Structure 1
Amino acid sequence: MTREQCEIADENDELKIFRNKFKIPQDTIYLIGNSLGLCPIESQKIANRVIKQEWGQNHIDSWNTAGWYHLPVKVGNKIGKIIGAEQNETIISDSTSINIFKCLGTSIAIQKIKNPDRRIILLERENFPTDLYIAQGLVNLLSTDEYKIRYFDDDNRLEDVLGDDVVCILLSHVNYRTGQLYNMKQITKLAHKVDAHIIWDLCHSVGSVPINLTKVDADFAVGCTYKYLNSGPGAPAFIYVNKKHQNVAWQPLTGWFGHQAPFKMSKLYEPAPNITNYLVGTPQVLQISIIDHSVGITLDADMQAIRKKSLALGDLFIKLMDEKCPSLKLVTPFEYEKRGSHLSYQHENAYAISNLMRKRGVYGDFRFPDILRFAMTPLYTRFVDIWDVIGIISEVINDAEYEGFDGNCVT
């Protein structure tokens, strides 16, 4: 494929209109959608409106007149459409880490009622660190004599360590480091076969990979909004809870906004009889307002078209990388059914390559100790971007500066 053919592919791209909705940095090719998506052009206007008008002029009345109070549910339901959830099963609240804690705690509470002898939480050993840390912290809090973590990996397969002593499995839909996409339907079915719960971390798949939590009958799910959903640094996360679990047991962080009547200021906690009991404190109104817009952009696009373009961009990247940069080893599975929307490459000098790429205007991720990640973000990544990036990486590897590079660490 030539650069001219890439230009033709971009011209025929049914998603090309969405690129104009984002602030594209000048002289920059941005392939970090899986860490921090680009800023939608309207985000600043929305933030200004909330600050100047809703807060600055209407102040406290905006909890009602501007709908602040209902934002977590409203925007949660919009995300629910992207992840295949039913109405009022998804809500915007807190961070991914905190929402993982809620899911784990709720799963344990439900299993105490239904399967009281279960004591094992199953984790993929190479899962994102916060998933591991939150689970480890919760087990330490509850007592390691009572609850324990069991890991699975390439040597100890999930099927081999999953038994009737398992409370739940916590697993990322797409692995942050390798880019591997897991079979959600198959693994959920495997968990339910032994009556264990499944908690899906959707951080690296939501907005880039088609998801249908209802169809697979998932129990819980969490995800951030600042990656492929482009909602800004530190934007609040979402939590999904299957309706069959919502009123079985309390979630562990029983804050005032999860009360069935927050403004009655009751001395005793009574959980809301729906997804709002997974709220904790006062919602982050400014950031949720921005999420409302950015999620809308994704909803306006067709998820199947997003996936189709993601795979096509990835195919082009892999082909050109094989031709021009064979010293970089592809870590991500090539098969479509096993590939997310980012590609990971291994190289002993990945750190230097990442830094020198940025000096040339190409932004990709470095992950310790030797991984380069490149996100295919179909709403704004073009085929010519992929062509140009591979050429720049090839230049970096052949540059004399590369051999003796010594610079600051990058994200």
Structure 2
Amino acid sequence: MSYKILPLQTNRQERNKFQIPLNTIYFCGNSLGLCPIESEKVVNQIIQEWEQNHIHSWNLAIQLPLKVGNKIGKLIGAEENETIIADSTSINLFKCLGTSIAIQKIKNPNRRSILLDRENFSNDLGLLKLLSTDEYKVRYFDDENQLEDFLNDDVVCILLSHVNYHHGKLYNIKKITEMVHKVDAFIIWDLCHSVGSVPINLTEVNADFAVGCTDKYLNSSPGAPAFIYVNKKHQNVTWQPLTGWLGHQSPFKMSKDYEPIVGIKNFLVGTPEVLPISIIDCSVEITLDAGMQLIRKKSLALGDLFIFLMTEKCPSFKLVTPFEYEKRESHLSYQHENANEISKWMRKRNIYSDFISPDILIFAMTPLYTKFVDIWNAIENISDIVKNVESKNFDESCVSLN
């Protein structure tokens, strides 16, 4: 294993655009990003517009899902009007699965298999419960190397997370998409843990569908709506299964007959959440301004430093995430038998990471605001905590280093 700390030169001050908790080291950007300073101003502005312009403010706000969706589209390499902000990741998966099945009924009506990675993030796959088990079957594969053996002319579609949230492996989106298309199946990419972390080009790889949340590396508000990407070639073949009023050709006619709007807007369902989408707008602007290539460079450099120092100072931790650049993104998963206890003591020292039962700690570095010195300071503390935990020499006096 060799280490190469990448040089990173930038005059940008992205960190200053976020509310950074005082005396805190934050490695939870893969779960919830920090709050952009501009978001408070944006929320107050929306409320003032509502107060002053009442229903007239709605005429502009109703365009937000597509406007902001197109900005996210730039981060994932989508063409104009292929990405829209709507609902949650789980609901968007429901739409993608339903649309995939409906199109395949037209193209390849005898297909019955839906493939899932056994370690996919536990999003709600409620649509699969509604399907007749006699008609459709869900097949699970255990890793990328098995996938090719599962692909055949019975496959409708495959749902796969671009980044495995548990061990942090980054999948080869181009290679896998090409593999799936060879059997004329569709692929739905879950980008929750990669959007805003690694450069993505869905147009280049000819992806079919994608979903993703906005509250992780895109740093929007907790519970903010997600996004959905639909390749233009799939947008007008059939309806998506949730025929909500805003996906109607003429929503304000209140017609009893549903006539789907043409294009990506058909993947809207209900009224857009104006306040959180406005926050997404300002947070995505920060990412676009920084540029994904620079973000990726700093991400790898931060990760290299973290791995180097953990190997040197905390050898009892086992790195679970692949070391190779092409197989990792911004979060590193480490295994330790005392992970839960270590995590609790870290929080007492205001060092935040994610814990996955029974023994995994996840350290997510968000290049927009994580500093290199944060890593040095964090690992000095973690090393001290591990020594105390392993020696069973812990009490409240160990909360902070002198």
Interval containing the TM-score (normalised by the shorter chain): over 0.9
Residue aligning to 1:127:
120
Distance 2:383 2:254 in 1: 63
Alignment of 1:252-331 (within 5 A): 252-331=241-320
Describe the shift of the 1:146–1:156 C-alpha distance in structure 2 as closer, same or farther (beyond 3 A).
Answer: farther
Task: Decide which of 241, 245, 251 is 2:230's aligned counterpart.
Answer: 241
Q: Does 1:35 align with 2:31?
A: yes
How many pairs align? Answer: 391
Residue identity in the other structure for 1:56: E
3-state SS of the aligned residue for 1:229?
Answer: coil
Confirm or deny: 8 A CA contact 1:15 1:378 kept in the other structure. Answer: no
Confirm or deny: 8 A CA contact 1:16 1:379 kept in the other structure. Answer: no
Confirm or deny: 8 A CA contact 1:396 1:402 kept in the other structure. Answer: no
Distance 1:149 1:404 in 2: 49
Q: 1:15 deviation in Å?
A: 6.3
Give runs of ≥4 in structure 1 deviating > 6 Å.
Answer: none
Q: 1:92 deviation in Å?
A: 0.1
Q: 1:376 deviation in Å?
A: 1.3
Q: Does 1:62 align with 2:57?
A: yes
TM value normalised by structure 1: 0.92
Describe the shift of the 1:227–1:405 C-alpha distance in structure 2 as closer, same or farther (beyond 3 A).
Answer: farther
Residue aligning to 1:365:
354
Distance 2:357 2:16 in 1: 34
Residue aligning to 1:409:
none
Task: Decide which of 155, 171, 174 is 1:185's aligned counterpart.
Answer: 174
Confirm or deny: 8 A CA contact 2:319 2:334 kept in the other structure. Answer: yes
Residue identity in the other structure for 2:39: S
Confirm or deny: 8 A CA contact 1:352 1:402 kept in the other structure. Answer: no
Spell out, residue by residue over 1:105-143, the C-alpha distance to the aligned partner (whole angstroms, 9 max, x if none): 00000000000011111000011011xx41xx3222111
Confirm or deny: 8 A CA contact 2:353 2:363 kept in the other structure. Answer: yes
Spell out, residue by residue over 1:271-296, the C-alpha distance to the aligned partner (whole angstroms, 9 max, x if none): 11010000000000111011111001
Distance 2:177 2:17 in 1: 36
Distance 2:277 2:292 in 1: 22
Confirm or deny: 8 A CA contact 2:12 2:290 kept in the other structure. Answer: no
Q: 1:13 deviation in Å?
A: 3.9
3-state SS of the aligned residue for 2:63?
Answer: helix
Which stretch of structure 1 is more off in the superposition, 394-403 or 240-249?
Answer: 394-403
* Structure 1: runs of 5 or more not aligned: 1-5, 407-411
Confirm or deny: 8 A CA contact 1:92 1:288 kept in the other structure. Answer: yes
Distance 1:60 1:54 in 2: 10
3-state SS of the aligned residue for 2:52?
Answer: coil
Q: Does 1:162 align with 2:151?
A: yes
Q: 1:151 deviation in Å?
A: 0.7
Residue aligning to 1:3:
none
Q: Does 1:22 align with 2:14?
A: no
Distance 2:270 2:199 in 1: 31
Distance 1:83 1:155 in 2: 22
